[in-house]
Structure 1
Amino acid sequence: MANSIQEALIAQTIQAVQELYQAELPISQVTLQETRKEFDGHITVVVFPITRFSKKSPEQTGTDIGNWLQTNVAEISGFNVIKGFLNISLSDSYWTNLVNTQITDDTFGSFPFNGKKIMVEYSSPNTNKPLHLGHIRNNLLGYSVAEILKAYGYDVVKANLVNDRGIHICKSMLAWQKFGAGETPESAGMKGDHLVGKYYVIFDKAYKKEIEELKAKGLGEEEAKKAAPLIKEAQQMLQQWESGDQEVLDLWRTMNGWVYEGFDKTYHQLGVDFDKYYYESDTYLLGKNIIQEGLEKGVFFRKEDNSVWIDLTEEGLDQKLVLRGDGTSVYITQDLGTAQLKYDEFQMDESIYVVGNEQDYHFKVLFLILKKLGKSWADGLFHLSYGMVDLPSGKMKSREGTVVDADDLMQEMIETAKTRTEELGKTEGLSAAERDRLYHTIGMGALKYFLLKVDPKKRLLFDPNESVDFQGHTGPFIQYTHARIKSVLRKAPFDERVPLGNPQALSVFEQDLIQTLANFPSVVEASAKEFSPAQLANYAYEVAKSYNKFYHEESILKSEDAEVKNFRLHLSAAAARILAKSMRLLGIHVPERM
């Protein structure tokens, strides 16, 4: 809904209460909402808060206010009162003027630069295995939030902190040394990240075998895990890495290089990108200066074993270790240092960490410590916490049998899109190359939309087959609607240079579509402020539904009135443009034909 009419109605409702009841109605007491579909009207004023000034029933108060508004607001064509709700109808001239002056403008829904800088950190993969289904949700959320914030006027930095060191990568390296026989991605015909992941699995199997052998000799579970020769070798390799052993470093660079090549292909297929990469190998020693600063400020305290802690019990948390007794870092140490590094480099006003909800506690502690240290920028930190993604059992088998590989899932989505599209006969007249592009567009659109339409905080069940449905609450339904509109415009043919004109009367379906399209800027704003692509995704679905009702109920191409036909074509073009903009902010392409 265009903000100007809302602002006018709020101001006029306050004026009405002043004149009718000689009372000052606080602006916070004026609640407007879209009228529910089962009632006549476009905007509803909630009357209940006004009854304490009118000293009348909600129905009588609503009627008083409605009569006053209809007399004083030219855009109002009528109203009705149902219990404590005043449903206001807006005139056809209001809607046609909205289309003429705003909705058909290319810049509709654009926001000026607001002068603020924001960093969105997402992906954060480990370099010992390929990306999986959880990473897909993470990447899609981070990328979409960044694009929405850009559209809302922020200067956005997309960052990726790569976990490229530690015992996990040493496990893959050691297994490759022992069992790899010089295998490379080229010789194996595998993506580099899959090859390194293969050796991580090989290590795990060999390690478990050693544990079982030690247990058979009488050792307990935990004792066997620590005594297994493989884990000791991996720990020794980590120490060699940290001490700068050249042979270990060379192998580490080689295998990480394979992984990065693999990741780049996955990121490209997924359609995400980054402006800045940070590497844990560069940042893992950071933070010790901050610990010293905190000790001097009395934020931290040292225990007898020389370890450093912070007491957060007053905040409902507990005591947290921030530096080991031997002076080595824990995760929170390097996260403190990395947070300072990022701020020093970019001076951003806000910073969003897109990380799964299993890290909720960690980020509460991290942000609280930075605030206690007096970091002026700590109030701008936000953890965009998201739930896990599940698949229906038996839907997909991963390469290792544990997690669902991102590359496998994307390929399955494209294959599923191909099967469903061909079954429905939606590839007529397309070349082989065009068909392949279409299958990719639909498959990836289905995957992205299904994962983004759900509130990030919620755990979700992803069904690949359900997501590729041309009739449901899905990406392909929205994509097909866009292609349908483009088909209508081609058949017309439509010339956007021809002025719209002003039809004398609008149908309820035209009004509904215009009202839905008019909400686009406010939805972008809400999605940006709440870091929620789900709002925009669900809005795109509402636009598609509203357009399809309009398409089925109103004649567009066969309209005998040239002015009406031209108006409906302009309205169709605006719907296509807003659908494309909405989906683009979700990282989803919409086809011109299908």
Structure 2
Amino acid sequence: MSLQKVLSQCVIDAVKELYQMELPSVEFQPTRKDFEGDITVVVFPMLRFVKGNPVEIGTKIGEYLQEHVDEVAKFNVVKGFLNVVIDDQFYLDFFDTIREEANYGFAKDISSDAMMVEYSSPNTNKPLHLGHIRNNLLGYAVSEILKAAGKKVYKTQIINDRGIHICKSMLAWQRFGEGETPESSGLKGDHLVGKYYVAFDKAYKEQIAELVDNGTAKEKAEKEAPILLEAQEMLRKWEAGDEATVSLWQMMNGWVYEGFDTTYENLGVDFDVLYYESNTYLLGRDVVKDGLEKGIFFKKEDGSVWIDLTDEGLDEKIVLRSDGTAVYMTQDIGTAIQRVTDHPDINGMVYTVGNEQDYHFKVLFLILKKLGYTWAQQLYHLSYGMVDLPSGKMKSREGTVVDADDLLTSMENTAEELSKELGKLDGYSEEEKKRLYRTIGLGALKYYILKVDPKKRILFNPEESVDFQGNTGPFIQYTYARIQSILRKADFDLSIDLKATFDLHGKEKELLKLIQLFPETVQLAAENYSPALIANYTYDLVKEFNSFYQQVSILGESDGTKKQFRVLLSKKVGEVIQSAFRLLGIDVPERM
């Protein structure tokens, strides 16, 4: 049980006995560094229920706690703050209960209700880019955090594999490809298809320029460029099931999927179930028709179907065009319902999508609620901001968007350069070095992105992210490796009776307090869908450990019991770092 839980009921009991008042809750905060104490009870909020001087109230509650609570050693009151000093044995008893616990901090019971987390969801006309990296890292980390908090989770994506965008790549490959394949070109499949999407765009712009030169208005030229009309015709053929068109579509999408799979593997993310827009784009229309009959939707004079959300502070939103075809909203309604049909234990969904779609998801969630689905109460849009790079740092092959594969390679190279400069690789084989560069580079990228609140825009600096000092992945990885080095050198018996009496060093106590917060932090991160809470907790833990390491002798301690305890404490800190980083999808090296 956490210290806060232990004290909370005792403070409520104290106020009830001393003042005959029932407090609804108790406010705590960490004790300020310049005062003695392990936890502080804030007295000021109690003044709404208890009349009197806050110092006197705090003193009386402190006396009650000292008399009735074994864990309370002493206290002091500063103005309206009751600073409570906790007996060392409380922390030693706590450590004794968790020191052998595997997966400490993770829920032991899994909920029967499942959450589905959607992330990535790319178009199949080009490779994944920097924005997809943030999306994948957030979605994967939130999935793992939810699982650690006791939720059953399905990780999914909807692959946008149909539409004019893929037809543009297909048409350009037909025109200019000369039968080129990933095997013949040496290119990853997604890069090859992306190459022809760029080729289409180039030819399209040339045709527009030619039409304009011959007197066509620019707006008209953009709609009537022959290559665009051909792509539109190809889409109509695909929708009609034309055998040759569908065969080409399957072949080129197959190339892309193989390319995506390689990127996902390199990034360290995975999925439990896949949905394809080619299978879902017709879903939702029947739902809209049913909703129309129930009065949830309404029909305009031109036959289009809408929903009126003005009473919710939004506006009217179209859900079916006048010709009966679906819009994206219709597909999303149908896909959400289909997912629950496929997985009946789903009781909520998380959509990892950029903040430019904030309005779309407000509308989608409201519609699903109005349609009466109980799981619609548990829908969450994990909205995130853009990721920018310092200008000139990286250019993609198109010169506009930063390619995910290129960024991963660049991170590995940056880690290699810095590691060589620092001379930390003595005794490593070439294979071990390469593995370490990859671990450091990928850890740096993931941590730099995940430590930031998802809603904030990020300026990602590759060199800064690989720094071995400060709030970075490599700094935390290096501390983990330092702990493993201590454990390798601790060639003595680590069995210890924690009932034995010895005084804790202040730094040991601070570490134990932080370790105690890990389960609560996991739950809080799950409730807020925030990997940043896990990342920054881990940084705080690592900072505290390094302070402990510098100020307290571990292997050089002459007292055998204290030495054993400090090694065991270091081991537990390492385990918590490893567990926290596992939630973020980051590996930790045994040595650096």
Give the deviation of 1:496 after TM superposition.
4.7
Match of 1:524 among 522, 525, 541: 522
Give the deviation of 1:415 after TM superposition.
0.5
Give the deviation of 1:546 after TM superposition.
0.8
Please state if 1:310 is matched with 2:307.
Answer: yes
1:315-354 counterparts in 2 under 5 A? 315-347=312-344, 348-354=346-352
1:187-198 counterparts in 2 under 5 A? 187-198=184-195
Asked if structure 2 preserves the Cα contact closer than 8 Å seen for 1:51 and 1:61, the reply is: no
State the secondary structure of the residue aligned to 2:374. coil
Change in CA separation of 1:217 and 1:196 when aligned onto 2, cut-off 3 Å: same
Please state if 1:75 is matched with 2:71.
Answer: yes
Residue deviations 1:8-52, cap 9 Å, x none?
31111112112222322223xx11222233432211111002234
1:226-375 counterparts in 2 under 5 A? 226-347=223-344, 348-375=346-373
Match of 2:431 among 430, 433, 448: 433
2:144 counterpart residue number: 147
Give the deviation of 1:386 after TM superposition.
0.8
1:26 counterpart residue number: 24
425-434 or 461-470, which moves further after superposition? Answer: 425-434
Change in CA separation of 1:172 and 1:503 when aligned onto 2, cut-off 3 Å: farther
TM-score (norm 2): 0.97
**Aligned equivalents of 2:280 and 2:97: distance in 1?**
52
**Aligned equivalents of 1:570 and 1:501: distance in 2?**
15
**Aligned equivalents of 1:53 and 1:352: distance in 2?**
41
**Aligned equivalents of 1:38 and 1:177: distance in 2?**
73
Change in CA separation of 1:37 and 1:406 when aligned onto 2, cut-off 3 Å: farther
Please state if 1:55 is matched with 2:51.
Answer: yes
Asked if structure 2 preserves the Cα contact closer than 8 Å seen for 1:501 and 1:567, the reply is: no
Please state if 1:115 is matched with 2:112.
Answer: yes
State the secondary structure of the residue aligned to 1:89. strand
Match of 1:484 among 468, 482, 485: 482
State the secondary structure of the residue aligned to 2:105. coil
Asked if structure 2 preserves the Cα contact closer than 8 Å seen for 1:335 and 1:366, the reply is: yes
**Aligned equivalents of 1:513 and 1:557: distance in 2?**
17
Residue deviations 1:177-231, cap 9 Å, x none?
1111111111111100001001111111111122222222333332221011111
Asked if structure 2 preserves the Cα contact closer than 8 Å seen for 1:104 and 1:570, the reply is: no
State the secondary structure of the residue aligned to 1:69. helix
Residue deviations 1:469-522, cap 9 Å, x none?
111100000000000000011011255555556451111111111111111100
**Aligned equivalents of 1:75 and 1:221: distance in 2?**
79
- Whichever residue aligns with residue 56 of structure 1, its letter is G
Asked if structure 1 preserves the Cα contact closer than 8 Å seen for 2:99 and 2:568, the reply is: no
TM-score (norm 1): 0.97
1:133 counterpart residue number: 130
2:587 counterpart residue number: 589
* Unpaired stretches in structure 1, ≥5 consecutive residues: none
**Aligned equivalents of 1:36 and 1:326: distance in 2?**
67
Asked if structure 2 preserves the Cα contact closer than 8 Å seen for 1:41 and 1:90, the reply is: yes
1:194-205 counterparts in 2 under 5 A? 194-205=191-202
Asked if structure 2 preserves the Cα contact closer than 8 Å seen for 1:500 and 1:570, the reply is: no
Please state if 1:102 is matched with 2:92.
Answer: no
**Aligned equivalents of 1:416 and 1:71: distance in 2?**
59
246-255 or 497-506, which moves further after superposition? Answer: 497-506
Report percent identity of matched pairs. Answer: 60
1:405 counterpart residue number: 403
- Whichever residue aligns with residue 407 of structure 2, its letter is L
49-58 or 338-347, which moves further after superposition? Answer: 49-58
1:166 counterpart residue number: 163
1:504 counterpart residue number: 502
89-98 or 576-585, which moves further after superposition? Answer: 89-98
Query: What is the total number of aligned residue pairs between the two structures?
Result: 590
Asked if structure 2 preserves the Cα contact closer than 8 Å seen for 1:484 and 1:593, the reply is: yes
1:92 counterpart residue number: 88
* Unpaired stretches in structure 2, ≥5 consecutive residues: none
Asked if structure 2 preserves the Cα contact closer than 8 Å seen for 1:120 and 1:353, the reply is: yes
- Whichever residue aligns with residue 104 of structure 2, its letter is F
**Aligned equivalents of 1:501 and 1:66: distance in 2?**
26
State the secondary structure of the residue aligned to 2:349. strand
Asked if structure 1 preserves the Cα contact closer than 8 Å seen for 2:496 and 2:565, the reply is: no
State the secondary structure of the residue aligned to 1:349. strand
State the secondary structure of the residue aligned to 2:491. coil
Asked if structure 1 preserves the Cα contact closer than 8 Å seen for 2:93 and 2:498, the reply is: no
Give the deviation of 1:54 after TM superposition.
3.9
Asked if structure 2 preserves the Cα contact closer than 8 Å seen for 1:96 and 1:502, the reply is: no
2:442 counterpart residue number: 444
State the secondary structure of the residue aligned to 1:44. strand
**Aligned equivalents of 2:52 and 2:328: distance in 1?**
62
Residue deviations 1:372-394, cap 9 Å, x none?
11122211211111111111111
Give the deviation of 1:276 after TM superposition.
0.3
**Aligned equivalents of 1:465 and 1:38: distance in 2?**
37
Asked if structure 2 preserves the Cα contact closer than 8 Å seen for 1:322 and 1:329, the reply is: yes
